[in-house]
Each structure stands twice: as C-alpha cells, then as structure tokens.
Amino acid sequence: MARLLDALTTLHRALGAVELSLPLDTAPAGVQARDELNGQIEDYLLPRLARLDAPLLIVLGGSTGAGKSTITNSLVGADVSLAGVLRPSTRTPVLVCHPDDREWFSTGGVLPDLARSTGEHPTGSGLHLVVHERVPPGLGLLDAPDIDSVELANHELAAQLLGAADAWLFVTTASRYADAVPWEYLRRARDRAVAMAIAINRIPVGAATTVTSHLDEMLHENGLADVPTFPIEESPGGADLLDGRIGPEALAELRTWLEGLVADDASRAAIVRTTLDGVLHSIPARVDVVEDAVDAQLQAIAELRESSVEAYHDALAALDDELGNGVLLRGEVLDRWREHVGTSAFMERLQRGVGRVRARIGSILSGRPVPNEAAQGQLESNLASLVRSHADRAALATVTAWESSEVGKVTLSSANRGIDRPTAGLDDRLERELVDWHDAVLQLVQDRAGNKLAIARALTLGVNGVGVAVMIGVFSQTGGVTGAEAGVAAGTAAVGQTLLTAVFGENAVRDLVRIARDDLRLRLAGVFEVERSRFESLANSRTGTVDGQQLRDAAEQLMRAWRDEAPT
C-alpha cells in the first residue's frame, strides 16, 4: 500500500501546484475538478487507504428542507442534530458515532482540516461530534449542510463532506426528488461509483408506490438502476410524530440497510472497496478536466510571452539598424573627432603616408593628441539615448498588446505602476554595460596590437584613441545621416578606418570592428532582456509549477499502483 499512498501524495502535490487564475472558458470546470479532487484526496482517500479497517462514514446529503436532521435524530432516537423550520437548520455538520469509534472520528482520521467540537451544541465552525450507544459500532452518520444552500460556504462544505463519505444516504422528498440540483450530485456519485442509497421523505400516505416507481425510472435513465431507495411515508395526520422524529416503522428498512453495511467484516470491506475503486477510477477523467484547463492557461501565457518577446525583438532590431547607419556620429561626436583628424588636409597626408606609415608614421602627424575621451563620451551618450528610446517603445508595445485581451488585462492587473515605461534601473545598467564594452574594446586592441601598439602610440592616439577609432568603425555606415553631415561622417569614418588599417592591416581591421560590434549587440540584447524580464515575471506569476503532462503522468502512476496494490 506504500506505493499507492506515495502515488496519491504525488498527484495531490501536483494538483496543489496548479494555477488557474486566467479568465478562460475552461477555468471554472478546471478549478472545480482540481479543488474537489484535491479535497477528496485529503479528506477521504489518504486516511481511508491508511486505515482500511476504520469505521465507515455515511453522509446524509440533500436539498434544503429534505429532513436530513430529522432522519438522523430518528435513527439515533435522540436530538443529536438541530432540526426545525429555519433554513438552513444544519449550519455546522453533525457526526454521530458509537462511543467505541470516538477516537477515529475525533482525531481527524477523515476530514482532517475540519476542527472538532463536542458537547450539547456545536461551537464555531467545523465538525460537531456526538457519541451515542444507538449508533451501530463501526458506523458514523454525518448530517451535512444543504447542497443547494443559499449560503455558498454551506453547499461547498456539503460537497466536501460527500466527497469524504464511504457511502451516501441521499435524502430528498416526494415533492423535490426531480429537482435539477440533486441530480447533479447523483450523477456525480454515479461517475465515481460511490456506494449510495436514496431516502424519499415526506411521501403522502398511500403514494409511496407512485413516487418510488417514477424515481426508479429516473434512476434507470441516469445509469443508477442499482441504487436502493427507501420511501418514508408521512405518519397518519400528515405530520411526523409529536416528538419531532419519524416513527421506527417508517425507518425500519433504512435502518436494516445501514446495519447491514457493518454487519461483518466482509460487508464493511465490500463498501470500502466499492467506493475506493469508484473514486480512484474516476480520477483520470477528472484529471483530464484539470489538464485541459492547465494547458489552456499555459497556451494563453505563452501567447502573452511571445508578444513581449516580439516587441523587444523588434525594438532591438530597429536599434541595431540605427547603430550601423551613422546616426550616432552626428553632433558633437563629429565635431570632436573632426577637430583633430577629420580635415581634408589630414586625410591627404594620411593617405599619402599610409604605405610607409609603419616605418615613419611619426612624421605624418603633428603630434597633437586626439581628444578621444570627448568623442567617446558623446558616442556613449548618444547610444544611451537611443537605447532608452527603443526600450520605451518596446514596453509600451508590450502593454498595448497585452491590454487587447482579457488574459493580458488580468495579468497586468498585478503589475507595478510604470510598467509601460523603461525600468528605473535602465540608465545605470546601460552605463555599466557601455563602460564594460569600452573596456572590452580596449582589451581587444591590446590583444591584437602586439608590437603594433608602439605605432599607435607614435600616432599619439594611445590605446584609448585606437579604441575610439574602433568604436567609430562600429557606427561607421551613414544611412541615417543626411545632408552635409553625411559627408562629414563618411570622412570621419574613413579617417578612423585609415588609422586602424595603418596599425593593424586591412583584414585585421574588419575582424576588430566585427568583434566589437557583435559584443555590443550581445550586451544590448542582455539589457533588453532584463527590461523584458518584468513581463516574463508577470506571466510566470499566472502559471503554476506543473503542466498537463505532469498531471497525466501522476494520474497514470496512481492507477498502476492501484491495480497492483488494491485490496481484494
């Protein structure tokens, strides 16, 4: 039995991890199936499988005013459950058992999450326990709240109690046995093969045959032909006995049925096996309902996630286009770089001397240092502004896409204010990445230069100056710069290209620029992924930790264990 209990615990844990908070058509049925099944595992299956020889629990369930409390009191022969004209009369469920069975029912063997109270009257919520000698040993009678109570908590509790029963005693009346709500529960009992009987209360004198015949037809039509029925006629004069209980003659057949359930070990074991077998074999179909709901939720979240990925991917692609089209070289970047190396005279001298620059590069330049820090700082400032702009567009595009669906609106409902704007830490994060990128470019220059670095120093550019030239090469295309700036930018890029070629050679320059550009792309993609991660977190907050396949695997494992370890 250990393997079966382990498999049941695994399924219980998996169901507990299911999240179904999105407003999808499959969600209500999934929530109901999840909660009912998880509750039944806790309240009935685990305790019953741990103690197959424990006393039976018979739950009296039914509609408002059916007479459940009256029947309970009449079977016991004492007022153990409140009965009266006020509805609902049973607000706290009452469990009556023989004194010998007190320990099992009082220590939470079944319905462990319900607090117990004892004494003359129920106190608080939970389960009120009464012991009485008239109840057969090995049998507990539980008077449950109404299944159709106007109080939501009451009929939810009624469903929970019925799920914890070894057998149902369903109580209805001659005037209400055809109502819709009772038949929802009866069909549920049929689907789970729960041991059950039906008591038809308040049948007018002489009408028992007519009522039971019609009820039998309905039971047959609904696949419940084998369910025993017990008609309870009103006493002569149209009322119960004066003490508020039903006469013993009217309940004789019902009492005999109840006593027969625990007449011997074989009878009791048969009831336990019937209900266990029915409940366990109902699990795969119920898990299928939860699985469908989970898969629908995951699909909806995947669509939200995909829309955020698309928004940030598009923004990154647009940013990448602008990085290479020369737009970052406009303004002060051009001015600072051109101030020392961007004149046409400089270009002519450099181009004339490039053939012998390796030997006499020191004679080409005036020796005045390039103000690379100013050019570098303006480059990074322009780049940061561009990144912020595209990050802003990506956030707004994601929020707009999510708000177009109810699922997206619900998911956004738990977001912090400003979700449609870049994060507060973007500037600091971007600054760190650009500093790191600049350092990586310098390291790349050092690694590739070798003894050529001396030539760079001769150019008085230094490592940092060559690094700026590499950075300018990364942004050297001029598609985004127009008018007079286009020519200046082209000249600026050409100067950088010529300097790098003089130091490293043409092929090496292409590699330098490509490596630096790829590194920058990767860093910016990381920045955008951090920006997108808040949307990812929102999406993840609406999913549990299991998927439909895990639920199905857990259910299949449980059924294999039941086939191997089921009691005979």
DSSP string, 481-520: --THHHHHHHHHHHHHHHHHHHHH-HHHHHHHHHHHHHHH
Report the SS3 class of residue 446.
helix
Residues 483 and 493: their CA atoms lie apart, in Å, by: 16
3 state DSSP class of 124: coil
Phi-psi region of 541 (alpha: psi -120 to 50; beta: other; left: phi over 0): alpha
DSSP secondary-structure letter at 369? P
Q: Is the dihedral of CA 418, 422, 425, 428 positive or negative?
A: negative
- Chain Cα centroid distance, residue 215: 44
Q: Using the structure block, give the residue that is written with the tokens 């103690």.
A: 51
CA neighbor of 306 nearest in space, from 441, 429, 397? 397
* Two tokens, residue 290: 């939860």
* pLDDT score at 243: 60
**Ordered DSSP codes for 47-74:** HHHH-TTSPEEEEEEESTTS-HHHHHHH
Q: What are phi and psi of 390, to 5 degrees?
A: -75, -35
- Distance (Å, rounded) from C-alpha 444 to C-alpha 458? 19
Question: What is the rounded distance in angstroms from the CA atom of residue 139 to the CA atom of residue 160?
Answer: 19
Residue 219 structure tokens:
């039971």
**All structural domains of the chain:** 54-263 (3.40.50.300), 299-550 (no CATH)
- Please report which helix (H) or strand (E) contains residue 373, including its range: helix 372-402
Cβ atoms of residues 93 and 143 within 8 Å: yes
State residue 458's pLDDT score: 43
What pLDDT does 356 receive? 41
What's residue 496's pLDDT? 56
User: Is residue 34 within 8 Å of residue 15, measured between CB atoms?
Assistant: yes
Q: 416 — phi, psi (to 5°)? A: -70, 155
Q: Which amino acid is at 26?
A: T
Q: Answer whether 67's CB lies under 8 Å from 175's CB.
A: no
Q: What is the pLDDT of residue 335?
A: 52
How distant is the alpha carbon of residue 512 from its chain centre?
47
**d(C-alpha 287, C-alpha 232), whole Å:** 39
Specify the pairing of strand 139-143 against strand 56-62: parallel
- b/e map of 274-299 (b: 16 or more CB within 10 Å)? bbbebbbebbeebbebbbebbbbbbe
DSSP state of 123: -
Give the torsion sign (CA, 534, 538, 541, 543).
Answer: negative
What's the rounded Cα separation, in Å, for the pair 378 and 311?
28
Q: State the Rg of the chain over Cα.
A: 40
> Residue 206 CB: number of other CB atoms within 10 A?
8
* Report field, pTM of the whole predicted structure over 0.95: no
CA–CA distances in Å: residue 163 to residues 110, 188, 278? 11, 10, 12
What sign results for the dihedral spanned by CA atoms 76, 81, 82, 83?
negative
Quote the Cα angle for 47-50-51, to 5°.
Answer: 90
How many whole angstroms separate alpha carbon 183 and alpha carbon 198? 12
Question: What is the distance between the alpha carbons of residues 292 and 389, in angstroms, rounded to a whole number?
Answer: 41
Question: For residue 149, which phi and psi values (nearest 5 degrees)?
Answer: -60, 145
Q: How far is CA 336 from CA 243, 324, 361, in A?
A: 106, 19, 22
Cα–Cα distance measured from residue 71 to residue 281, given in angstroms and rounded to the nearest whole number = 32
CA distance 110 to 44: 6
Burial 536-561 (b: 16+ CB within 10 A, else e): eebbeebbbebbbebbbebbebbeeb
Judge contact between 346 and 376, C-beta under 8 A. Answer: no
Treating both helix axes as pointing N-terminal to C-terminal, what angle do 332-341 and 372-402 enclose, rounded to 10 degrees?
160
Element (H, E) at 125: none
Q: With helix as H, strand as E and coil as C, how does 146-205 read?
A: CCCCCCHHHHHHHHHHHHCCCEEEEEEECCCCCCHHHHHHHHHHHHCCCEEEEEEEEECC
What's the residue count for the chain?
Answer: 568
pLDDT tens series, the chain, 568 aa: 889 999 999 999 999 999 999 999 999 999 999 999 999 999 999 999 999 999 999 999 988 889 999 999 999 989 888 764 334 444 689 999 999 999 999 986 789 888 898 887 777 678 999 999 999 999 999 998 888 776 777 778 888 888 899 999 999 999 999 998 889 889 988 888 888 999 999 999 989 999 999 999 999 999 999 999 999 998 765 444 446 788 888 899 999 999 999 999 999 999 999 999 999 999 999 999 999 999 999 999 999 999 999 999 999 999 988 876 665 555 544 555 555 454 444 444 444 444 443 333 333 333 344 444 555 566 677 788 889 999 999 999 999 999 999 999 999 999 999 999 999 999 999 989 988 988 888 788 777 766 555 555 445 455 555 656 666 666 764 333 333 344 434 444 555 556 666 666 666 777 887 888 899 899 999 999 999 999 999 999 998 888 999 999 999 999 999 999 887 6
Block residue for tokens 């929970």? 160
**Interatomic CA distance for residues 115 and 124, integer angstroms:** 9
